[in-house]
C-alpha cells in the first residue's frame, strides 16, 4: 500500500482547474493523499497557478518530475492522452484519464497492453455518477422491459463555447451517452447509422446516430455543440412504460400504462469529479474495484470510431453554405 499517495495533475485547462480543486480538497481531508505537482505546458500561467496552489510544484513537462509522484490525473486535450498515458505507464504510475481514453481504438488497445496488473487506470466517464442510475437499473429489471424491444433516446446539446474543437462532438459529447448505453443496457453487438453537420468547425458539430442491438432494441443519440439551449436527457420507451431522466435538472418522470406515476421527482446532485477521484484513490489505497475500467474506456472509443466511420460513409451534408 502506498501512503501517502503523491498525486500530480497533468493539464490545467478548463476541466483541469476543476480537478485541481478536487485533488486539493481530498488532500485536505485525507492524510493519505498529497497534492504534489501540476504539469502545465503553458508557462505563461505558471505564476497564476502558483498563487492558488503555493505548496504544489509547477512543471512544464512530465519528464522533469515523473519520479516524484505516484498517481496522475490526466486532463490534457484528447489528442495527447495516448502519448502521456504511455509515458506514465512505462514509469509505473496509476492514472485517472479523462474521457475519451484515446482518440482511436488502435491506441486504446495499445494502452491495455501497457497496463500492469498492479497499476490502476480509471477512465473519466463522469455521467455514471448520477445518483439515479441505481434506481433506474432496478426498474429496468421489470418484465415490461425484459420481454419487449425498447427504444432509448439520448440528447446532449449546448450553445457553441469554442472548447474541445480539436475533436468532433462525437468524441467530446456523445461519448458520455455511448458509455451510459453500455453501462445501463449492455447491448453488445450493434448496427450503426449516423448523419452529421459541420456548422461551426471543420469537425462534426451536430450528429445524430441510431444503434440497433441483436434483440431489436434501438438507441438514438443526438449531440450538438451548436444548439440554441443546453439539454441533457435520457428517455426509455417500452410497450407500456416511459422513463424520462432530465440530467440537466436532476429529475425523472415515469409513465406506466398511460398513467403518470412519477412526475419530475428530483434526485440529489453530486460532485461528479470529486466522486470519481474518490473512487480512483480508494482503488489504489484500499484495492477497491475500479469505477470505470480501461476496458470500459476502450469500448466507448470503439463506439465513437464506429459512428465516425458511418458518418464518413453515409453523410451527404458536409457544411452549411
Angle at Cα 107 formed by Cα 105 and Cα 110, nearest 5°? 110
Dihedral over Cα of 228, 233, 237, 243: its sign:
negative
Q: Structurally, what CATH architecture does the domain formed by 128-270+303-314 represent?
A: 2-Layer Sandwich (3.30)
Q: Determine the pLDDT at residue 155.
A: 98
- Please state, in angstroms and rounded to a whole number, the distance separating the CA atoms of residues 145 and 200: 39
Report, as ranges of residue numbers, the positions in the chain whose pLDDT lies below 70. Answer: 1-2, 142-148, 314-321
Q: Determine the pLDDT at residue 146.
A: 63
Q: What are the residue boundaries of the structural domains of the chain, listed by start?
A: 5-126+273-291, 128-270+303-314
Cα Dmax for the chain: 63
197 to 37, 119, 220, 311, 313: CA distances (angstroms): 40, 40, 17, 10, 14
Q: Report pLDDT digits (tens) over 284-316.
A: 999 999 999 999 999 999 999 999 999 977 665
- Please state, in angstroms and rounded to a whole number, the distance separating the CA atoms of residues 261 and 178: 28
Q: Determine the pLDDT at residue 138.
A: 82
Q: Determine the pLDDT at residue 147.
A: 66
DSSP 255-301: EETTEEEEEEEE-----HHHHHHHHHHHHHHS-PPPSS-HHHHHHHH
**pTM of the full predicted structure?**
0.93
Q: Determine the pLDDT at residue 321.
A: 39
Q: Determine the pLDDT at residue 141.
A: 76
The domain made up of 5-126+273-291 has a fold known as: Rossmann fold (3.40.50)
Q: Determine the pLDDT at residue 319.
A: 45
- Please state, in angstroms and rounded to a whole number, the distance separating the CA atoms of residues 57 and 64: 11
Amino acid at each position: 500500500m502506498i501512503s501517502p499517495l503523491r498525486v500530480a495533475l497533468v493539464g490545467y485547462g478548463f476541466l483541469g482547474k476543476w480537478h485541481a480543486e478536487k485533488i486539493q480538497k481530498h488532500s485536505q481531508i485525507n492524510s493519505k493523499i498529497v497534492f504534489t505537482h501540476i504539469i502545465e505546458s503553458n508557462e505563461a500561467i505558471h505564476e497564476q497557478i502558483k498563487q492558488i496552489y503555493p505548496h504544489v510544484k509547477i512543471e512544464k513537462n512530465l519528464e522533469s518530475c515523473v519520479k516524484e509522484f505516484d498517481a496522475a490525473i490526466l486532463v490534457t486535450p484528447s489528442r495527447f492522452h495516448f502519448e502521456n498515458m504511455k509515458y506514465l505507464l512505462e514509469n509505473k504510475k496509476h492514472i485517472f484519464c479523462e474521457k475519451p481514453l484515446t482518440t482511436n481504438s488502435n491506441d486504446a488497445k495499445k494502452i491495455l497492453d501497457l497496463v500492469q496488473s498492479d497499476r490502476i487506470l480509471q477512465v473519466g466517464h463522469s455521467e455514471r455518477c448520477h445518483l439515479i442510475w441505481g434506481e433506474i437499473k432496478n426498474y429496468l429489471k421489470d418484465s415490461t422491459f425484459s420481454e419487449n424491444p425498447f427504444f432509448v433516446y439520448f440528447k446532449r446539446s449546448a450553445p457553441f463555447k469554442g472548447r474541445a474543437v480539436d475533436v468532433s462532438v462525437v468524441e467530446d459529447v456523445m461519448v458520455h451517452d455511448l458509455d451510459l448505453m453500455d453501462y445501463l443496457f449492455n447491448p453488445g453487438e450493434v448496427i450503426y447509422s449516423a448523419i452529421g453537420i459541420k456548422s461551426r468547425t471543420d469537425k462534426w458539430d451536430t450528429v445524430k446516430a441510431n444503434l440497433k442491438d441483436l434483440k431489436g432494441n434501438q438507441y438514438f443519440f443526438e449531440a450538438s455543440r451548436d444548439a440554441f439551449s443546453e439539454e441533457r436527457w435520457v428517455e426509455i420507451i417500452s410497450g407500456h412504460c416511459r422513463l424520462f431522466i432530465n440530467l440537466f435538472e436532476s429529475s425523472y418522470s415515469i409513465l406506466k400504462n398511460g398513467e403518470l406515476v412519477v412526475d419530475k421527482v428530483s434526485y440529489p446532485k453530486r460532485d461528479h469529479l470529486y466522486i470519481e477521484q474518490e473512487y480512483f484513490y480508494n482503488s489504489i489505497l484500499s484495492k477497491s474495484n475500479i469505477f470505470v475500467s480501461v476496458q470500459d474506456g476502450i469500448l466507448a472509443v470503439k463506439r465513437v470510431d464506429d459512428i465516425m466511420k458511418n458518418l464518413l460513409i453515409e453523410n451527404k451534408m458536409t457544411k452549411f453554405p
